[in-house]
Amino acid sequence: MEIFFTILILTLIVSLSGVITRILPFQIPLPLMQIALGALLAWPQFGLHVDFNPELFLVLFIPPLLFADGWKTPAREFLRHGGEIVALALVLVLITVVGVGYLIYWMVPGIPLVAALALAAVLSPTDAVALSGIVGEGRIPKKLMDILQGEALMNDASGLVSLKFAIAVAMGTMVFTVGGASLEFVKVAAGGLLAGVAVTWAYSKSLRLINRWSGDDPATQTVLLLLLPFASYLIAEHLGVSGILAAVASGMTIGQSGIIRNAPLAMRLRANSVWAMLEFVFNGIVFIMLGLQFPEILATSITQAELDPTIETWMLFTDIVVIYAALMLLRFCWLLLMKKFSQRFLKKRPMVFGDYSMREILIASFAGVRGAITLAGVLSIPLLLSDGSAFPSRYQLVFIAAGVILFSLICGVIALPLLLRGIVVSDKALHRKEERTARAAAAEVAIESLRKMQERLVNDREENIDSQLLNEVGARVVGNLRRRIDGKSDQGDALLAENLERRMRLNALRAERGEYYHLRAQQKISNETLMKLLHDLDLLEALLVEHE
């Protein structure tokens, strides 16, 4: 029962965290509020204790979140910025592991080189979820946010693979060579991507059979979709390749293929609502779990530092500030170098970095906040080596990683709103123009399709539809579509007509809903009939309200 009550408490706190941030007289980002609530729950007065199992955490929370991010990431834009993403998610990660690793080895007394490299590896991945929580959706320019999201999707794998190598060397199960590590990295990364695509392909093939057997049951289809990221992750890990990249690849494949587009309407509606709820709950629990761990990490690290004659307690806090500053400086210099490199050597096909202003480089630097993957990675470092001795300086690694996560979030909260002040992210007038153009083009295609349908129905003797009725219905539908096309020249009247029609339809739907409840109260219809009629009205209302 204890774990059941813990899950209920965490879910309740996630729900209340958004309410608390809105009623406070000052603004605080949701991730920081959730971390603070988690730390408060771990205080002795409340006494909520949740054992942090890194392997369980990685399996339970990370695959669905990365799958959802991959699903929302446009493959065309991801591939268009492939060079920039590789430069940040792979090259910068490797530079960070080596550069910051040697800095930690030089700066922290008594820490072995392998342990320092392991810490640098877990500090290299950035967290796009925490970034969105800090600045809000749509605040960072799109050309910059696309690259930051792509980087966050890919560098989780490169950072954790680097950590895996460092732990294997420390445990004595692997002899490190540049060639061997590079080959292993390519195998793990490419294998993870292929595993994700293969599992999604198998899912799409099996879904057709299941739909046929289950009679297009949306509940069955939605549950299978929820299991897909876990299947991709676990199968990839079982094969010895990257489960994280498999979850990302699975999400991107599901988003770009026709699996969801061709699925039944009820399944699409349920899948979208279920995933939205799942993302909100899982993201919140991730940050609350971070907060729950901080008090214990702080108390344990200070106690062990007092027993360690090679280190002073205040040095642990100094290390956090210096290491974070080194991470930011290295990231800033790398972005600046990419800008100069693109301007000088890639004039025919310049990278996006080449157009960055100094302000955008600073935004991209402070946007590299650390989050859940960093904490899960550092806590996955084993307590003991293969010979039974303690893993060297583990308490320092955990404390510094947790401190860098919190410090990066605080610095991001302070710096990013200042850097983003006055930046126009998107032109709403341009978006409206694009929408009108797309609607007009789609209306022209729809009218031509209706014309062919009318001709087919007139010549189809089996349908036996009255030609006057056919012309009346066709004229009404085509008239609605014509208003969209004419909106290019008479925009005001077309928008007024569409809005007026929408308001009238919504008014009629709401009146129908009230009458259905009235009929049920009078016992003129059954509850099953009421539920079906209300479901049909909800679908129609959702379609109308979406464009209200």
**Confidence band for 426, pLDDT divided at 50, 70 and 90:** low
Do 107 and 362 form a contact (C-beta atoms < 8 A)?
A: no
Tell whether the model's pLDDT for residue 427 goes beyond 70.
no
Highest mean pLDDT among 209-218, 445-454, 460-469: 445-454
Model confidence over 117-128: pLDDT tens digits? 999 999 999 987
Residue 489: per-residue pLDDT: 47
Longest CA–CA span in the chain (Å) reads 96
Q: How far apart are CA 373 and CA 450, in angstroms?
A: 52
Residue 432: per-residue pLDDT: 64
| Mean pLDDT of the 289-299 span | 86
Tell whether the model's pLDDT for residue 219 goes beyond 50.
yes
Q: What percent of the chain has pLDDT over 90?
A: 19
Cα 70 to chain centroid distance, Å, stands at 7
For 390, phi then psi, to 5°, come to: -70, 145
| Mean pLDDT of the 220-242 span | 90
Six-digit token pair at 228? 């897909």
Model confidence over 84-108: pLDDT tens digits? 899 999 999 999 999 999 999 999 8
**Confidence band for 247, pLDDT divided at 50, 70 and 90:** very high
pTM of the model: 0.80
Tell whether the model's pLDDT for residue 153 goes beyond 90.
no
SS3 of 390, please? Answer: strand
Please give the C-alpha separations between residue 369 and each of 361, 407, 476, 519, in angstroms, as whole numbers: 14, 9, 54, 56
| Residue 334 vs residue 223, higher pLDDT | 334
| Mean pLDDT of the 25-43 span | 85
| Residue 440 vs residue 522, higher pLDDT | 522
Helix/strand/coil (H/E/C) assignment for every residue in 150-209 = HHHHHHHHHHHHHHHHHHHHHHCCCCCCHHHHHHHHHHHHHHHHHHHHHHHHHHHHHHHH
Residue 366: per-residue pLDDT: 93
Highest mean pLDDT among 74-83, 296-305, 477-486, 487-496: 296-305
- CA torsion 404→410→411→412, rounded to 10°? 110
| Residue 541 vs residue 415, higher pLDDT | 415
From 295-304, 307-316, 493-502, the region with the lowest mean pLDDT = 493-502
Other beta carbons within 10 Å of 104: 26
| Residue 354 vs residue 191, higher pLDDT | 191
Q: What percent of the chain has pLDDT over 70?
A: 89
Residue 1: per-residue pLDDT: 62
Q: How far apart are CA 262 and CA 210, in angstroms?
A: 15
Highest mean pLDDT among 132-141, 290-299, 395-404: 395-404
Sign of CA dihedral 89, 71, 18, 277: negative
Tell whether the model's pLDDT for residue 216 goes beyond 70.
no
| Mean pLDDT of the 32-50 span | 82
Model confidence over 185-208: pLDDT tens digits? 888 889 999 999 999 998 888 877
Question: Nearest-CA neighbor of 298 among 319, 279, 282, 313?
Answer: 313
Residue 96: per-residue pLDDT: 94
Q: 384 pairs with which residues across the strands?
A: 390
Please give the C-alpha separations between residue 153 and each of 70, 230, 457, in angstroms, as whole numbers: 7, 16, 50
Do 269 and 276 form a contact (C-beta atoms < 8 A)?
A: no
**Confidence band for 230, pLDDT divided at 50, 70 and 90:** very high
Q: How far apart are CA 208 and CA 262, in angstroms?
A: 11
**Confidence band for 502, pLDDT divided at 50, 70 and 90:** confident
